[in-house]
Amino acid sequence: MKLLEYKGKELLKNYDIAVQNGLVVSSVDEIAQNIKAIKPPYVIKVQIMAGGRGKAGGIKFAGNVAEAEKICADLFNKEIRGCIVKKILIAEKSEIADEWYLSIILDRFYKTPMIIFSSLGGIDIEETAKSDPEKIIKLPVNTLIGIKDYHTRYIFEKCALDLKFYDKFNLILLNLYRLFCEYDCILAEINPLSIAEGEKLMAIDCKMDIDDSSLYHHTDIFEFRDSLDENPLIIEARKFNFLYIPLGNDGDIAVISNGSGMLMSCIDLISKSGMKTGCALDLGGGATSDRIAEAVKIIFKNKNINYLLVSIFGGITRCDEVAKGVKLAIKSGLKDKTVILRLEGTNKSEALEVIKGIDGSVTTASSITEGVKILSSRRKDK
């Protein structure tokens, strides 16, 4: 679960990490009545689930309320990086002396939290990682003992940082790690961590990514997720514990599978065949026939989708349940759609018997490759 900047900053502030004063607005009308507590000049930042918004025109500056209102009026409902602007953060502009980068990430190779730091923070941190990788410091954290003084000492010695910031930085690192652990983060990033007025260390921007499986005990994040202006099919799929993934408005093929690896393999083969996938849905494990039927119905609620490739390796999710679910969906009024089933594993033979009782809109394939070939042939016939 990725958080928008304003929500990430709320968490940072709750963990005693300084951020700019600001407010989030959903319309221009909200600005004048709420902006009094924020001192000009202002920085205006669109809140979208995409990076590179500054270079795309999503970050601007205003000297007074009138300018802020005009800029926000221009930005609301504008498409930036493929996202429609629904929320805007207006914050006090800070005079910045220096920019650092600080993050804690769940490192899957070392299987532990990893501190990442650079004294060259800001919007070009990716270029720094490519051109000057030695400027990026990585320190694993032993979860049994957590953050210790030697982490901060190593960073300051390696980067020759001014020791007058040592205590402030050490406290931020400790608090960021506490946030990372208590909120089950995959990523907790501050970029830039800036030296602002009065030699204060302040989080000017941030990224937070929280493990989806932990949301049930983070009610504030659960509420934030439900407040987002999301694709309605994502929300509907979530009710059944499915993951619906929009992939583009120009694709007429969908993929359903029980695992991200198989989903990506299907999508790659479809793309290599010159076709386009419009959406995908991950069933997870143990889907029964009634839930499979709902998954198929959700897919075809996307009006662009006319073809569906279902690839299942039956284990907890039994092949016969998948076949029965597809049959239920077809009977509900999807007879004009094309469904290709590739099934392997538990109860495959029973599944094939079920499929015999479905009309000609459903075809079986012995492999993903064969399924993609059938897709290509069916699309050419139409």
Q: What is the 3-state secondary structure (H, E, C) of 23-91?
A: EEECCCHHHHHHHHHCCCCEEEEECCCCCCCCCCCCEEEECCHHHHHHHHHHHCCCEECCEECCCEEEE
Tell me what pLDDT residue 199 has: 87
Mean pLDDT of 24-30: 95
pLDDT at 70 over 90: yes
Which of these ranges, 122-131, 178-187, 284-293, 357-366, has the smallest mean pLDDT?
A: 122-131
Dump strand ranges (E) for the chain. 2-3, 22-25, 42-46, 59-62, 79-80, 83-84, 88-92, 98-107, 112-118, 137-140, 185-196, 200-203, 206-210, 243-246, 253-257, 277-282, 307-314, 338-345, 362-365
Mean pLDDT of 211-235: 86
pLDDT at 239 over 80: yes
**Cβ count near 218 (within 10 Å):** 17
Tokens of 340: 């290709």
More confident residue, 125 or 179: 179
> Which amino acid is residue 121, in one-letter code?
G
pLDDT at 39 over 90: yes
Is the domain defined by 98-219 classed in CATH 3.40.640.10?
no
Tell me what pLDDT residue 83 has: 84
Q: Which residues partner with 200 through β-bridges?
A: 196
Mean pLDDT of 371-378: 92
Query: Which has the closest alpha carbon to 134: 158, 115, 153, 107?
Result: 158
Mean pLDDT of 178-207: 94
Tokens of 263: 């989903």
Give me the CATH code for the 21-92 domain, please: 3.30.1490.20
- Share the mean pLDDT of the chain: 91
Give the separation between CA 77 and CA 278, rounded to whole angstroms.
23
Q: Give the DSSP letter of residue 270.
A: H
Q: Where are the domains of the chain?
A: 21-92, 98-219, 232-381
Query: By percentage, how much of the chain surpasses pLDDT 90?
Result: 70
Residue recorded with tokens 């319309």: 27
**Cβ count near 305 (within 10 Å):** 18
Question: What would the pLDDT profile of 154-177 be if each residue is shown by its tens digit?
Answer: 999 999 999 999 999 999 999 999
Dump strand ranges (E) for 161-306. 185-196, 200-203, 206-210, 243-246, 253-257, 277-282
Question: What would the pLDDT profile of 316-343 be if each residue is shown by its tens digit?
Answer: 888 999 999 999 998 887 767 899 999 9
**Cβ count near 353 (within 10 Å):** 11
Mean pLDDT of 31-47: 94
Tell me what pLDDT residue 108 has: 87
Query: Which has the closest alpha carbon to 205: 108, 121, 329?
Result: 121
Domain 232-381: homologous superfamily in CATH = Succinyl-CoA synthetase domains (3.40.50.261)
pLDDT at 52 over 90: no
How would you list the strands of the sheet with 307-314, edge to edge? 243-246, 277-282, 253-257, 307-314, 338-345, 362-365
pLDDT at 184 over 80: yes
Mean pLDDT of 65-74: 96
More confident residue, 331 or 299: 299
More confident residue, 104 or 250: 104
Tell me what pLDDT residue 382 has: 66
Tell me what pLDDT residue 297 has: 95
More confident residue, 235 or 47: 47
